[in-house]
Every structure is written in structure tokens, then in C-alpha cells.
Amino acid sequence: MAKKNMEATASDGSRAISKFHISDLIIILVLVILCATCVVPFWHVLVKSISGDGPVMMKEVFFWPKEFTLSAYSKVFSDRSMVRSMIYSVGVTLLFTLLGMITCTCAAYPLSKKRLKGKGFITFVLMVPMYFTAGMIPSFILMFNLHLIDNMWVLILPLIYSPYNMLVMKTYFQSTIPDSLEESAYLDGASNFQVLTKIVLPLSKPILATLSLFYAVGRWNAYGDHMYYIRSDSVRMIQYKLYLLVQGAEASISASLGDTGGATNITTPEVLQAACIMFVTVPIIIVYPFLQKYFVKGAMVGAVKG
């Protein structure tokens, strides 16, 4: 009997008294290696960014800084366009997230109501763009006709309605908020707006947090739309600036005969480039541990089909 109990707990993975198998060792080893591939490259870039130019050129810097200096960072921070772009990117991301959440709620709440007449048709209208897109060229022509090219709003308006996020939110509303709660509010004379703002939204904080993060991270990381819609430096977000910087450096390395380590042609010295990479990466890494649990929750809600 005791044995059975012990092994019953084994199924959920928390067996305390059990032999240490070879397979455990292999799993741990594989996971450690995989984790290392996620950490070591960034550690290396960080170390490079705080090392002196000399040792980096001599390829002496691996996992510990040599000739510690923060001069690359002071260069990045004194570059007005980098700092400005960072502030701009944060601003665009926040605005995008706010408007996105409003749009998402406006779509998900009415569609979560079974009684809504015309629900099937409206859902269809709102879901089509997820499966069939017009493609980049027609979209470009459209943005051009709307006079949105090279405009900050082109980074926000076309993307704030997301069919996927809408489905996640709708599913959450339907599965976690009891109908009876809303019905009693209606009987007390509350309007649809009041039910939404006083009952549904306060009860949906977890999903609101999750979807805000989906929106924010999505906007923060995406830069493909810049390649079509954005031309001037003043409306570029920081990820695109990093992309251009790295591409510029890579093009000049490729052009200089076969990357022989002769750094004469490199437009951006490696240390400065490493500092730029860190400058763009660190905001995500700082907020990441706080966001992670919300992300995981949201991904699971999304798994429940709408």
C-alpha cells in the first residue's frame, strides 16, 4: 500500500525517494547544454562590450572582460539618435499596447455573448485577415494612398487589431466569467458598458496582463514593416536601427577580402557593435523574468480553442 502511494505521486513527477537513473543524467546534460546555448552567446557579447578595443581585435576576449572599460556605452549613450530612438520605441510600444488592448476588448467582449445577433457573420469578417492576407505590395499601395508612409501611425494602426489575441480574450471571457453574474447585473439595470467595465474587465486582469505583453513584445521586436513603410531615421524603431547597423558592418566585412581579421574596413568596431546589441537587448532581459509567468498563462489560454 505504501509502495503504491509512493509510486502514485511518481506520476506527477515529484517522487522524492527513487533511484537516480542514467536517463536523468542524460536529460540534465542535454538541458544544460541547450541552456548554455541560450546564455553563453549573450554573455560573450556583454563581455566584449565592456572590454578594450585592443584585446577584442587580438581575439583575446572570450568569457571574461579584458581592459575593462565602459567607453563603448558612453559612446552609445552620447549618440543622440540611439537614445532618441530608444525613447521613441518605448513610446510607440506603449501607445500600441494601449490602443491594441482597447481594440481587442471592443472585439472580444461583444463576440463572447451568445445572444448577439449577427455574431457568426461578424466573427467571420474579423477572422478572414488571419487566414488570407492581401500581401505586402497591395498593403504598401494602401498605406501610400492613406498617406501613412513614413508616418509613426503606420507602425501602430494596421496591427492593433489582432485576430489571434481577440480569440484568446474571447475564449477567456466565455470560459471564466459566469453568465449568471452578468445576468444579475442586467436585472439590476446595468447597461452593457457597465457590465464590461465594472464586472468583466476587473475579473479578467490575468488575461489583460498577458495580452498586453503579447502586444508589447510583438511591437517591440518587429521591424519587417519598417522595410516597406519607413524611410526616415526619425521614425525608425530601435530594432530596425540595430538591424541596419549590423547589416552595414556585415556588408563591409564581406566586401573586405574574406574577413581576415584586418579590421580596417569595419564601419562599426566590434566593441561598439557589441555595446549596441546589449543596449537593445537589455530592456527585454530586464523585464523578461517579470513577464514570463504571464506569457506562459496566456499561451495556455490560447491553446483552448475559441
Q: Which of residues 162-201 bind another protein (CB under 8 A)?
A: 166, 179, 183, 186-187, 191-193, 196
- Piece of 69-77, 79-87, 105-113, 204-212 that binds another protein (CB under 8 A): 105-113
**According to the binding rule CB under 8 A, does residue 217 interact with another protein?**
yes
> Nine-digit cell at 113?
455573448
Pick the binder of another protein from 138, 147, 198, 233 (CB under 8 A): 138
**According to the binding rule CB under 8 A, does residue 234 interact with another protein?**
no
Give the integer Cα–Cα distance in Å for 185 and 102: 23
- Piece of 64-72, 79-87, 97-105, 198-206 that binds another protein (CB under 8 A): 97-105
Give the integer Cα–Cα distance in Å for 306 and 297: 16
Pick the binder of another protein from 74, 81, 133, 234 (CB under 8 A): 133
Question: Considering the complex, what minimum distance in angstroms separates the CB of residue 205 from another protein?
Answer: 20
**According to the binding rule CB under 8 A, does residue 103 interact with another protein?**
yes
Q: What are phi and psi for residue 47, nearest 5 degrees?
A: -60, -40
DSSP 230-287: --SGGG--HHHHHHHHHHHHHHHHHHTTT--S-GGG-SS-HHHHHHHHHHHHHHHHHH
Do 295 and 213 contact (CB within 8 A), yes or no?
Answer: yes
Give the integer Cα–Cα distance in Å for 10 and 5: 9
Q: CA nearest 71: which of 274, 272, 242, 281?
A: 272
Half-sphere exposure of 53 (CA within 13 A, CB side): 9
**According to the binding rule CB under 8 A, does residue 261 interact with another protein?**
yes
- Piece of 68-76, 108-116, 170-178, 202-210 that binds another protein (CB under 8 A): 108-116
Question: Considering the complex, what minimum distance in angstroms separates the CB of residue 162 from another protein?
Answer: 10
Give the integer Cα–Cα distance in Å for 188 and 194: 11
Question: Considering the complex, what minimum distance in angstroms separates the CB of residue 90 from another protein?
Answer: 15
- Piece of 69-77, 80-88, 131-139, 167-175 that binds another protein (CB under 8 A): 131-139
44 vs 66 by CB, closer to another protein: 44
**According to the binding rule CB under 8 A, does residue 117 interact with another protein?**
yes
- Piece of 79-87, 90-98, 152-160, 202-210 that binds another protein (CB under 8 A): 152-160
Pick the binder of another protein from 25, 70, 94, 102 (CB under 8 A): 102
Angle at 50 between CA 45 and CA 53, to 5 degrees: 95
Q: How far apart are the two ends of the chain, measured CA to CA in Å? A: 43
Question: Considering the complex, what minimum distance in angstroms separates the CB of residue 237 from another protein?
Answer: 10
Q: CA nearest 108: which of 296, 300, 302?
A: 302
Pick the binder of another protein from 10, 25, 94, 181 (CB under 8 A): 10
- Piece of 71-79, 170-178, 204-212, 266-274 that binds another protein (CB under 8 A): 266-274
